[in-house]
Amino acid sequence: MKALIRLSDALDKLCGVLIVVMLGLMVTFTTAQIVCRMWFTSLSWSEEATRFLLIWSTFLGAACVYRHNGNIAITLVQGLFPEGARKGLRVAVHAVCLALFCVLFYYGVLYCTRQVRTAAALPIQMKYIYMCLPAGMLVMAVHAVVMLVGALRGTE
């Protein structure tokens, strides 16, 4: 279990670094597009690259938010139950999330393997863009396992 927790923490740190890099690249590409549009010829690829970076950063960011319990929760309903039931509710939520992440990972991989087209402005195959879904779901599944075991042990 300790190895899984270390893996989850390492993935969380990696996702955080990648998100910062991607957001920096998005700002750089958008600024370059504005400068080039004002004084030179506009860049044909910057909007598409920014969009793809935003998509990737969204899925990786969702994994970071899930790991730190930053998602929206209805605490009013949880507060109505005694502590034992609240623990059961947390276990159930993490189990359902884990199942959802696994299903989305599976179908995301299937979808990515069927992609053969190339992006409009960039020489990138779309399967690499769509890989954000299985990548994000895999990271979230690792986080969900750690959080599920933590909820079962009462060590969240």
- Would you say residue 32 has pLDDT above 90? yes
- Would you say residue 129 has pLDDT above 80? yes
Mean pLDDT of 2-13: 94
List beta partners, residue 125: 118
- Would you say residue 72 has pLDDT above 80? no
Largest CA distance in the chain: 65
pLDDT value at residue 74: 67
Considering the chain, what is the average pLDDT of its residues?
A: 91
Cα–Cα–Cα angle for 71, 60, 121, rounded to 5 degrees: 130
- Would you say residue 136 has pLDDT above 70? yes
